[in-house]
Amino acid sequence: MKKILLIGLLCFISVISAAQTGKGKFLVGMGTSLGLGQNDGLMGIAFTNSKTEIAGSGSVEETQTSLFLSVRGGYFIANGLVTGLELATSTSTGTTKSAGLELDSQSSFFGAGPWVRYYFSTQKIIPFAEVSSLFGSRGQTTEGSGIDSDLNYTVSNLGGGLGIVFLLGEKSSLDLSLTYNGTNLKEKDLKLTTNQNSLGMKFGFSMFF
């Protein structure tokens, strides 16, 4: 009897998860990232405070707080395969103090781009692989101690990752993944180009319809 109940439960879970990730379904989600590499808050949450001692020249102290949020919508074009559009935004504030100088900086980013995810099974815990990209713009201002700078960047990002989905019911899931991001920033007026590569943890929540 116990074996029959267990088999029935597994079949029920499979039916639910297959219905969630089956062809013709829609997905709506939101999430954020915690960067583990060089990303200066552009593609992840960051809270940093550092102090560098320079021999004979005092010290440089830097603080920074950054927030990142993305929302996405997708359509299952095949069983387990979903693709759609993602919108992302981030904001960052920071302060740099050195030898009597104090600079305050602020930046904001907004971007959009396609994404694709494939779910590997129809169990309650589902592994997946994902590829995504974002294209947008970033504005950065720096003020203080007689300095007033305003820079604007074009941003292109390509990322991917592997993760696990935990089904929370018939219509929702918690998504966790390890991600890689390669980001290119270009400032037209000063002809500055910056390439960033980072690893991170992405946390998300999805709804299925």
| Structural domains for the chain | 2-208 (2.40.160.20)
C-alpha pair distances (Å), 68 with each of 19, 90, 151, 157 = 31, 4, 20, 14
**What's the mean per-residue pLDDT of the chain?**
84
Contacts of 174 (CB under 8 A, 6+ apart): 165, 166, 168, 204, 205
pLDDT digit string (tens) for 102-129?
A: 889 999 999 999 999 999 986 778 999 9
Instruction: Reduce the DSSP state of residue 193 to 3 states and report it.
Output: strand
pTM across the whole model: 0.81
pLDDT digit string (tens) for 7-38?
A: 333 333 333 344 578 899 999 999 998 866 55
